[in-house]
Structure 1
């Protein structure tokens, strides 16, 4: 009977470790892939510990979503019954906030940014900025600024989120105020975004009043394993003071030829298959509306795509 030698076993082990390291450390190339990774590797065991804005439990459903147990937190549907019962992935720093600071948004909105702007796609897929939220709460938060609203009544039952629609302002529950502040600092610092003085002052106060708890630290560790870096404002490696100068590591990483994403795999979000630039005749036929770009096949597979059957 054949028995593999030591060198063969070591080679196989090295190959397996290489594949594992790629699977663990490759950052998502798209928002669609990021949502799946957030479910599988960050929040997989958190669905009984509360959604972001309301603290509701949910059952996982589909590839990246979930069905909310409204009774678990006393949530009352305000206006959108379909979105109130499902979990969605919230950009803590709204996509429109960082998108509107890009030329691509001014020339065609979010769809144009997704098609043409690598930096926008990096920001949209950054797992540090994603959290599972009740769809209706996500919709009501919209892209409103954060504020303090003691006179605004709750409108979602026992969910402790206050939304002043006319003032376009939201006050979240205390349990996430510190995390929100540190995510805002991270996104603005890493991607060189502009932060208003009013938001800066509020978020600095929240950062001091609500230091990282055990879950925020664990969340950062889990996200760092995927993204390749943690949030220095969570880890205490960096602070934010008035007049903060952004480090802009995200821009520098994108500018380096050796780290710039080189898209070679094209997915079709409708058929859930991916195509290679050579050997796959349908590569150039994927419509812009359904197109999802990946850096490599590993990312496409991790996102749940399979190779097109007509690839040679």
Structure 2
């Protein structure tokens, strides 16, 4: 698979000469560098500024954005990299996720996710794709987990000023992102993952499309997508066009 990707990148021209990140750690470091380079060091859901303090992480300035920790102050202060389309959504139907070491002896003792990262290069490419990863407050990232997006009944506020909500939806627990530009960013990541990897985004596509159309990309999102396309060959056409 890596060989095929390399051939595709070579055929696309010299601007796409680099390969995608080979590991999740490499993807996080790459994005930490990129966000620093383009001057967009804000968390995904709450728009909190953060300062980089490690290879791929940093400290969230919760006072600057009014973010309140729901229960875990330490994790709320920490930058983590959020999969907009969670790994389980494009991994849980694979043999490496379900059967693990029953099929792959080298996966003994590993979780489904870890097994797929080890033995399935298509999963690995999707898992490490920078187009699907954004900085988030760690606690918000953990609370969102792999719950789908939607509209929560009522207005449960657990994170201070940040209008990110977790609560009941028509078919179970859901995460409701703040209204506005963030929904467009999420929509374009979901459309990309659906188109490129066949991922189930667990939200009706008419809603995803509406979020995309009502909230066009801002300058930072366009610059980020351009850099990712140029440096990894992974182009989000929902941002950059075809």
With the shorter chain as reference, the TM-score category is: 0.7 to 0.9
Tell me whether 1:29 sits opposite 2:29 in the alignment.
no
- Indicate conservation of the 8 Å contact 2:79/2:136, yes or no: yes
Gaps of 5+ in 2: 1-13, 101-111
Which residue does the alignment assign to 1:270? none
Higher alpha-carbon Rg: 1
Tell me whether 1:62 sits opposite 2:65 in the alignment.
no
How far is the alpha carbon of 1:23 from its aligned partner? 11
Select 1:157's aligned residue among 151, 160, 169: 160
Which residue does the alignment assign to 1:299? none
How far is the alpha carbon of 1:34 from its aligned partner? 0.5
Aligned 1:152-301 pairs, distance under 5 A: 152-164=155-167, 167-173=172-178, 174-196=180-202, 198-237=203-242
Q: Which has the larger share of helix?
A: 2
Distance 1:47 1:235 in 2: 20
TM-score calculated relative to the size of structure 2: 0.82
Distance 2:15 2:211 in 1: 36
Tell me the alpha carbon deviations over residues 212-231 of structure 1, each in whole angstroms, 9 at most, x when there is no partner: 22121111111112221320
| Aligned-partner SS, 1:79 | coil
Tell me whether 1:132 sits opposite 2:135 in the alignment.
yes
Select 1:89's aligned residue among 60, 67, 81: 81
- Indicate conservation of the 8 Å contact 1:126/1:227, yes or no: no
Distance 1:143 1:91 in 2: 9
How far is the alpha carbon of 1:232 from its aligned partner? 0.8
Which residue does the alignment assign to 1:253? none
Runs of 4+ in 1 over 6 A off after TM superposition: 21-24
Which residue does the alignment assign to 1:50? 42
Distance 1:190 1:209 in 2: 23
* Pair 90,47 (structure 1): closer, same or farther in 2 beyond 3 Å: farther
Tell me whether 1:100 sits opposite 2:92 in the alignment.
yes
Distance 2:238 2:225 in 1: 10
Distance 1:48 1:230 in 2: 19
Distance 1:184 1:234 in 2: 12
Which residue does the alignment assign to 2:109? none
TM-score calculated relative to the size of structure 1: 0.64
Which residue does the alignment assign to 1:293? none
What CA RMSD, in Å, does the superposition of the two structures yield over aligned residues?
Answer: 2.1
Instruction: Pick 1 or 2: higher relative contact order, CA cutoff 8 A, min separation 6.
Output: 2
